[in-house]
Chain A
Amino acid sequence: MSVAEQLENSGQPEKAVERKSKVIGKDITVHYGEKQALFDVNLAIPEHQVTALIGPSGCGKSTFLRCINRMNDVIDGCRVGGELTVDGVDIYRSNIDVVELRARVGMVFQKPNPFPKSIYDNIAYGPRIHGQASGRGEMDEVVETSLRRAGLWDEAKDRLEEPGTSLSGGQQQRLCIARAIAVNPDVILMDEPCSALDPIATARIEELIDELRERFTIVIVTHSMQQAARVSQRTAFFHLGVLVDEGETDQIFTNPKDERTQDYITGRFG
């Protein structure tokens, strides 16, 4: 199924997108036990862009995000329906190895969660378990590149053996980003990565996200519309488990087609 058709299905007929879609969700439903959390979501995520998922809390945006690298598998009683493809491969097929999928689709969490190990080991862990670096020299290189890309190298290069938890909150979050990009994924999922940070650290991360877009496809869940407007090229608005509106960020914020989107971005609820 083509991207254009995808977009038609999600009620976005007019604008053809020039970029290739990296992740395509078709009729995604999610149940937590008896409760349905997502209703037939159809969404295509273009390559090398930042796609923001916004909506009031409990709207299913994080649930959708966690479908993309199957982090929902961990939750008891969670069932995912529909078809979700990454690079054209259905990731919910039975012969898909979750571990390999997650090496390609990395994730950054709401609260910075570095391992209680050294900064170096935090970064090196992923390449090590995926067998991506052999020998100390190669690993040093991977660690340095990742830290540089995450903009943390200058702050951390002299304290690589210190525990990751000794860094400040913003630094910890950048460490987590560095950890995610160390395994060289195609897609990075970010689940409200700045919600636990102060404004300065937040600005730093937002800048970083913009830089990372060149190499990675980024999907970010955020509760802040300003942030969505600042960092993303495309925005999808979720409400009560339904994908209400989706499109170019500018268009969503200036000219939303759905009334609920309008109400949300003008601050009438949420």
Chain B
Amino acid sequence: MQISYLVIALLLLTGVSYFWGRRRAVSLAKGEHLVVLHSLPSFHGAYVALWCGLPALLLVALWMILEPQIVEAVVINQLPADRAILAISDPNVFKLLLTDIRNLASGNIVSQTIDPALQAAANSYMRYEAISQQALFLVALSMAIVMGSFARTRLSQRFRARNRVEKIARWAMMTASLIAILTTVGIVLSLIFETIRFFDKVPFDEFLFGLKWSPQMAMREDQVGSSGAFGAIPLFAGTFLITLIAMVVAVPIGLFSAIYMSEYAGPTMRSVVKPALEILAGVPTVVYGFFAALTVAPFFRGAGESLGLDVSSESALAAGVVMGIMIIPFISSLSDDVMNAVPQSLRDGSYALGATQSETIKQVILPAALPGIVGAVLLAVSRAIGETMIVVMAAGLAANLTANPLEAVTTVTVQIATLLVGDQEFDSAKTLAAFALGLVLFVITLCLNMVALRVVRKYREKYD
């Protein structure tokens, strides 16, 4: 990566210019106390360094984003008309050829014969790329030097280097804080664009209300009925079923452990159980998935057999229970916080009336903490819905519209993962369906989170 050399050179130059500016500032003080300077020499140095480094690095970043597209467009325009259409319509063909040419240039043998016109185009592509890279080196380095020198000439005793550097720093921080918004926008845009393309191929109502899901057929276009079926109801039902099982496991266990931990447990017990729960919370989901497939599913299957029940080896029950286990620490730590926020005075009031501890908890603390606990459970639900690895490894692949927890069901996340892992064609309804499912998932979890966070926030404000 030659660009990385350029970046390193620019960074070095920036470092050097810092000391360069700093030295000049010291000399500006003319041997007197530095107090004659408006700003400390280090700020002068930083000012020069910023002028030296920032514009040049921004230029490099811009170039890296724009250059390939510009050069590609130029080269494609030079192609004979029919090929240009081909290359534009299928950029993969063109890129494939480029790779071949690069291999050829570096001495690797390419077996297939190459269309001379395309080869010429690829050659000129590489020539342009080389030229533009050299140009970039030249422009970026000279830009750094010129800008840095210019900034250095501006330094003077009363020059407000500090204020300027602080302003830039402030801008940098503000930009960093925008990342959160940019990420959300990025998520929404990338999901929405692909989803719109998906709904070009599959009607909206069929997706939302259809009862049959079998996207695999979409790959074989020559076959009759190749359109596949994209009714997502079985997925929603499966997700709901597994989430429900998870909550049935996690809510009572998590809540009761939180109650015990915050109200009954002594310090020794806390010091043992808290880390255990933290470990449970830190176990990666892929491990839970493996645990579900390796231990829990066979266990349920065996137990079912001995009871005369037919339990699928990818039963919703196994996936749901393990997901519930994953969520226990989540619920318990959130509810623990919430119950600790209930003021001691409420407890005192209840004890003073002669209530036992459990009566106090049931009739005073839990009602007071209820909004917070509801918020915690909502967050947990959103987590369960979005959890991927456990269900990918332990739940089924086939969409199965059933409410029987002993059968295999599939979920939204499983389908997203299986549709997008492996070969992809970006215009098949199969891959696009994954984005539509992703959008549904995002919207649902977003709503749950918003409500939950608002509830928790309101609750906290009440007792702050």
Contacts and interface: CB of A to CB of B under 8 A. Distances in A.
A and B touch in the complex (CB under 8 A): yes
B33 A97 contact: no
A97 B34 contact: no
A130 B35 contact: yes
B160 interface: yes
Interface in A116-148: 129-134
A132 B40 CA distance: 10
Nearest to A130: B35
A63 to B, nearest CB: 25
A132 B38 contact: no
Contacts of A17: none
Contacts of B163: 97
B37 interface: yes
B162 interface: yes
Interface in A174-222: none
A131 B160 contact: no
A41 B398 CA distance: 79
A131 B33 contact: yes
A132 B162 contact: no
A97 B40 CA distance: 14
Interface in B19-56: 33-35, 37-38, 40-41
Contacts of B41: 131
Given A129-B40, A131-B40, A97 B35 contact: no
A99 interface: yes
Given A97-B160, A97-B163, A134 B34 contact: yes
Contacts of A129: 40
A102 to B, nearest CB: 13
Nearest to A183: B35
A100 B40 CA distance: 12
Nearest to A99: B162
Nearest to B29: A131
Most chain A CB neighbours (cut-off 10 Å) among B34, B40, B41, B162 = B34
B35 A132 contact: yes
Interface range on chain A (Cβ under 8 Å from partner): under 10
Contacts of B33: 131-134
A100 B39 CA distance: 10
A134 B41 CA distance: 12
Nearest to B160: A97
A133 B163 CA distance: 21
A111 to B, nearest CB: 22
Interface in A126-174: 129-134
B162 A131 contact: no
Contact of B37 (A97, A99, A131): A131
Nearest to A132: B35
A4 B214 CA distance: 92
Contacts of B162: 99
A130 B38 CA distance: 9
A99 B37 CA distance: 13
Nearest to A127: B35
Contacts of A99: 162
A97 B162 CA distance: 10
Interface in B28-86: 33-35, 37-38, 40-41
A49 B245 CA distance: 77
Contacts of B40: 129-131
A70 to B, nearest CB: 15
A134 B34 CA distance: 7
A132 B34 CA distance: 6
Nearest to A131: B34
A130 B40 CA distance: 7
A97 B35 CA distance: 14
B169 to A, nearest CB: 14
A100 B160 CA distance: 11
Interface string A87-111: 0000000000101100000000000
A174 B162 CA distance: 30
Interface in B151-190: 160, 162-163
A134 B40 CA distance: 12
A97 B38 CA distance: 10
B303 to A, nearest CB: 59
Contacts of B34: 131-132, 134
Contacts of A97: 38, 160, 163
B62 to A, nearest CB: 34
Contacts of A134: 33-34
B36 to A, nearest CB: 8
A100 B35 CA distance: 10
Most chain B CB neighbours (cut-off 10 Å) among A99, A129, A131 = A131
B166 to A, nearest CB: 9
A129 B40 CA distance: 7
Nearest to A184: B35
B438 to A, nearest CB: 39
A129 B166 CA distance: 14
B59 to A, nearest CB: 32
A94 to B, nearest CB: 12
B17 to A, nearest CB: 21
Contacts of B35: 130-132
A182 to B, nearest CB: 13
Contacts of A131: 33-35, 37, 40-41
B418 to A, nearest CB: 51
Interface in B177-219: none
Contacts of A100: 38
A91 B41 CA distance: 25
A186 to B, nearest CB: 14
Nearest to A103: B35
B255 to A, nearest CB: 39
B256 to A, nearest CB: 42
A219 B38 CA distance: 27
Nearest to B40: A131
A140 to B, nearest CB: 16
Interface of A: 97, 99-100, 129-134
8 contacts: A129-B40, A131-B34, A131-B40, A131-B41, A132-B33, A132-B34, A132-B35, A133-B33
**Ordered nearest first, which 7 A-B pairs have the shortest CB separation?**
A131-B34, A132-B35, A131-B40, A131-B35, A131-B37, A134-B34, A130-B35
Given A100-B38, A129-B40, A133-B33, 17 more contacts: A97-B38, A97-B160, A97-B163, A99-B162, A130-B35, A130-B40, A131-B33, A131-B34, A131-B35, A131-B37, A131-B40, A131-B41, A132-B33, A132-B34, A132-B35, A134-B33, A134-B34
